[in-house]
Amino acid sequence: MRRTRKNGILLVQDGLDKEAVLLRAKVSIAGYYFLLFAAVAFTHPFFPVFLRERGFSYGQVGAVLSVFSLTGAVASILLGWRSDQARRRRRYIIGAMLVGAAGYLLFPHVYSFGVALLLAAVIGGCIMSSQSVMMALVVDLFRHKGTAGSFGQLRVFGTIGYLLVLLILVLWRNSLLLEPSRMFFSVALLLALSALVVLLTPETPEEAEESARLSVTEVLYLLRQRDIVLYIIAHFCFVGALMTATSNLSLYLQWMGASKPFISLAYMTSALFEMPFMVLMGKLSDRIGRTRVLAIAFISLPVRLLLLTAFRAPVPVLLTQTMHGLTFSVVTAVSMAFIADRVEPRLRASGQGLLMAAASLASATMPLVAGLIADGWGLPALYGALLALSLVGTTVFFSLARHTAPAEASMRVVAQTGGQA
């Protein structure tokens, strides 16, 4: 940077440089999410279908999905801690994504249940942990610009990538991209490109606060905070119910006789409603508080699952996908900010890792339980069990909301009046 004797000019130059850094960060992080979720557009609807076509039972499909998420839970905490300790984020995101890409290249050759479990463990640990560290990087870079709003604006590019791939699959009937070798190669390529885009993301380790040590003490410290532990429990129930319902939706529609293009259309519908809500709800939570916006999601999810339990035809099920904006979008955009507001800066990635671990643990346990329920009593019973789980999460959340909503409101009053409330 060129120095000048006039402080005003120097300050302007500093401001311009900072804005340029943030612009580069926005472009690279948006690219990461775009490519990552373009890959997810293949695996999310069609990975369970692939496993069923290889002869796996509902219970075995659930076990594979559970292992994917279980290793993701453990890796999210460990990698979050490690990135806090090293004051670096990019290297961990890039390394995890590249290993995950290599794992997907091997999946077309999988016929053994044991091998499927092993690969799912490796890939799940990589993909889930990379996202928790990326969320911490977003907080690092945009903590002074409205965390939830900034994250929502960037995360929506993931939805655009997801939607674009699904649109191609809907319009291209009997697409060759859904042939296993081509599908998994496409996934691996998109993940590798996503990792390369992260190279452009700036880091400011010299501005990082003192980092956390890798110890059980730090986790226990976080879990002694009432707001955090109650939200982790509610988040566990919410994510377990929602993501298990979503991951089994393709099997549910297939059971009803829906075609693969119709299945793609169902997931495409959810993505369409996800995009505007991801941005709007993040910004709204910056203005009125996290708790009030999260309440919308915790009320909407049981309604959505009740409808899925009752419906027995593809078209009504497709219509429930319009509620994705009120459920998935809200929790995705606002949960990380809810935790970030309550965690010390030195534990920033550890807090996001704990949140991701709760989500991963929910996704690890519930698909297995749901698969066993589906094997024994059918897919409608599976959705009934998920409805019960969502009601537990809603009850826990509103016991938390009684304390957090008034506290958030008083903090906004103080901020708006300059401490003269």
The answer as to whether 239 is a domain residue is yes
pLDDT above 80: residue 320: yes
- Mapped onto helix, strand or coil, the DSSP state of residue 212 is coil
Q: What is residue 298's three-state secondary structure?
A: helix
**From the CB of residue 108, how many other CB atoms can be counted at a distance below 10 Å?**
14
> What's the whole-number mean pLDDT along residues 143-148?
59
Tally of domains in the chain: 1
For residue 82, what pLDDT is reported? 75
**Rounded CA Rg of the chain:** 21
Please check the confidence at residue 46 and state whether its pLDDT lies above 60.
Answer: yes
Q: Is residue 407 situated within a structural domain? A: yes
Q: What is the pLDDT of residue 149?
A: 59
Residues 205-252: pLDDT tens digits?
Answer: 544 444 444 355 666 767 777 888 888 899 999 999 998 888 888 888
Whether 10 has a pLDDT exceeding 50, the answer reads no
The one-letter amino acid at 379: L
Q: Does some domain include residue 323?
A: yes
Angle (deg, nearest 10), helices 113-142 and 324-340: 60
Whole-angstrom Cα distance, residue 90 to residue 137?
Answer: 8
Closest CA to 344 of 224, 234, 222, 232: 222
What does residue 146 show for φ and ψ, rounded to 5 degrees? 90, 90
What's the mean pLDDT in 405-409? 62
For residue 289, what is the DSSP state? Answer: -
Neighbour-count burial of 145, counting CB atoms closer than 10 A to its CB (0-12 exposed, 13-18 middle, 19+ buried)? exposed
Residue 243, number of CB atoms within 10 A of its CB: 21
171 vs 68: CA distance, rounded Å: 30
Question: Looking at residue 280, what is its pLDDT?
Answer: 82
Instruction: Identify whether 132 is part of a domain.
Output: yes
Determine whether 344 is exposed, middle or buried from the number of CB atoms within 10 Å of its CB (0-12, 13-18, 19+). Answer: middle
pLDDT at 188 over 90: yes
Q: Which domain holds residue 41?
A: 20-202+216-416
Task: For residue 320, tell me if it sits in a domain.
Answer: yes
Q: Please compute the mean of the pLDDT values over residues 19-35 and round it to a whole number.
A: 84
Mean pLDDT of 137-153: 67
- Provide the total of helices (H) and of strands (E) in the chain, helices listed first: 15, 0
Q: Quick check: is 10 in a domain?
A: no
Closest CA to 136 of 89, 101, 196, 102: 89
Angle at 13 between CA 9 and CA 16, to 5 degrees: 140
For residue 24, being part of any structural domain is answered with: yes
What pLDDT does 146 receive? 58
| Per-residue pLDDT at 344 exceeds 80 | no
User: pLDDT tens digits, residue range 53-110?
Assistant: 888 888 888 888 888 878 877 787 777 777 777 667 888 889 999 999 999 999 888 8
Give the per-residue pLDDT at 258: 84
- Read off the CATH number of the domain in which 85 is found: 1.20.1250.20
Is the CB of residue 393 less than 8 Å from the CB of residue 241?
yes
Please report, for residues 48, 59, 229, 269, 316, the alpha-carbon distance to residue 180 in angstroms, rounded to integers and kept in the order given.
12, 21, 41, 24, 29
Of 36, 18, 278, 285, nearest in space to 147 by CA: 285
Helix axes 324-340, 260-288, angle to 10 degrees: 40
pLDDT in tens, 349-399: 667 777 877 877 787 777 778 778 888 888 888 899 999 999 999 999 998
The answer to whether residue 1 is domain-embedded is: no
Structure tokens at 146: 């409205």
Distance of CA 112 to the CA centre of its chain: 29
* pLDDT tops 60 at residue 337: yes
Report the alpha-carbon distance of residue 357 to residue 341 in Å, rounded.
Answer: 18
Handedness of CA 42, 47, 48, 50 (dihedral sign): positive
Residue 343 has phi, psi (to 5 degrees) of -115, 140
Mean pLDDT of the chain: 79
SS3 10: helix
Q: Which of 27, 39, 23, 22 has the alpha carbon at shortest distance from 193?
A: 39
